[in-house]
Amino acid sequence: MKPHLINQRAKAALAIFMLLSLSACGTAAPKLVGKTYDQAYDALKKAGIEQDDADYVYQDGSDADLTQLSADGVVIAQSVKPGDEIPGEGITITCKSVSKDLGDALRKGKGKPASDTYQKIVDAKYTPTYLEATSKADITSMVVNDITGKTGQDAVVWIVTKVAKPDPSKKTVCIAVQSEEQYKKAQEGKRIVAALQKKLSVSAAWSYVDQAMSQKCPWGHNLHDVDGVITQDAVDENTYHLVCYCDVVNAYGQVANNRKCDAYVTVRENGTISVYNLNVY
C-alpha cells in the first residue's frame, strides 16, 4: 500500500476516535440536582447527551444500580455545573436512593435490637415485616408492639439476624429477628462449634465413629454419615453428639438396614480422641 494512503487512513481513524471520545463536548450540562433519576435521564437526552457519557454513582462513590435509581433515585450533585460544557470524559451524577440508604442502615443493624432501625424504616415510609428467624413465622405485630412500648414491661428485645433487600416498588422490607435470649443462645452455640472444630473437624469425628463401629460390628457395617445424618451437634467445646443411619451385618451374614448409630466423640485434655456411649438401635 502506498505511504500517502496509509497516512490518510490513519488520519481518518484518529478523527473518528476523537469524535467518539468528545461526543459530549460542546454540550451544556442541564440542571439535574433535585431531579429523580428518570427526570435526569430525560433532561440529558433532551440536551443531546448520550447515556454512555453519564456516570451515575452513589454518595459513597460506588457505581449506582440503575434499576434501583429508577425506582427511587434522586440527584444530589453533578460534576459539571448547569450551563457549563461537558468535557470529553462525560459527566458524573451523584444520586441518593432511599431503598439503598435504608438497606445499608438495616445491614449495619444486624446483631442489634430491631428498635434501633425501626424509626428509619418508618421515616423512609416503608412497611416492615418481621419474621421469627427459626420458624419463619410472621410476628410483625408482636415485634412492633414491643418496640413502640405497647407491651409495657413485658416487652421482648428483638435482635435482627437477617435483612432482605428493601423493595422500593412495594415500599416493604422483610427482617428476620430472634428474641435476645434466643440470639445469645445461638451465638454461644456458634462459638462452641467454632472452638470444637479447631480441635476436631466433624468429618474426622465421624471417622472415629466409623472405626469404633468396626469393633462393635465385626461382621460388617455401613455408616451413612453423609446422606443419612440425623444429629451432628456440639455438646460443648470438646464433644460432638453424632447420630446417623447405618446398616449392620450379623454373624450369619444377615443385613439390618436403616438402624441408627448414636455416639459421642470427645477430645481429651491430652489431645487423644475417645468415642463413648456408642449404640446401635
SS3 category, 242: strand
Distances in Å between the Cα of 219 and the Cα atoms of 59, 212, 214, 253, 259 are 69, 13, 8, 7, 15
Q: What residue type is assigned to position 96 of the chain?
A: K
- Cβ(129)–Cβ(172) under 8 Å? yes
Which residues have CB under 8 Å from 143's CB, separation 6+?
A: 114, 130, 158, 177
Angle at 220 between CA 217 and CA 225, to 5 degrees: 85
Residue showing cell 451432628:
232
**Among candidates 129, 229, 126, 216, which has minimal Cα distance to 177?**
129
Contact 133, 179 (CB under 8 A): no
Cross-sheet strand order for the sheet of 158-163: 127-132, 172-179, 158-163
CB 41 within 8 A of CB 35: no
Those residues whose C-beta lies under 8 Å from the C-beta of residue 196, and which sit 6 or more positions away, are 234, 236, 237, 238, 239, 240, 267
**β partners of residue 125:** none
Q: Looking at residue 20, what is its pLDDT?
A: 42
Residue 145: per-residue pLDDT: 96
User: Chain centroid to CA 139: how far?
Assistant: 22
Contact 238, 196 (CB under 8 A): yes
- DSSP letter (8 states) at residue 86: P
pLDDT attached to residue 43? 94
Residue type, 149: G
Residue-wise DSSP of 109-175: TTTSBTHHHHHHHHHTT-EEEEEETTT--B-HHHHHHHHTTTTGGGPPPEEEEEEPPPBTTTTEEEE
CA dihedral (16, 17, 20, 24) in degrees, to 10, reads -120
CA distance 63 to 168: 18
Q: What is the pLDDT of residue 121?
A: 97
**What does the pLDDT profile of the chain (281 residues) look like in tens digits?**
444 444 555 444 444 444 444 444 568 999 999 999 999 999 999 998 888 889 999 999 999 999 889 989 999 999 999 999 999 889 999 999 999 999 999 999 999 999 999 999 999 999 999 999 999 999 999 999 999 999 888 999 999 999 999 999 999 999 999 999 999 999 999 999 999 999 999 999 999 999 999 999 999 999 999 999 999 999 999 999 999 999 999 999 999 999 999 999 999 999 999 999 999 99
Q: How far is CA 227 from CA 230, 231, 260, in A?
A: 9, 12, 13
What is the phi/psi pair of residue 40, to 5°? -65, -40
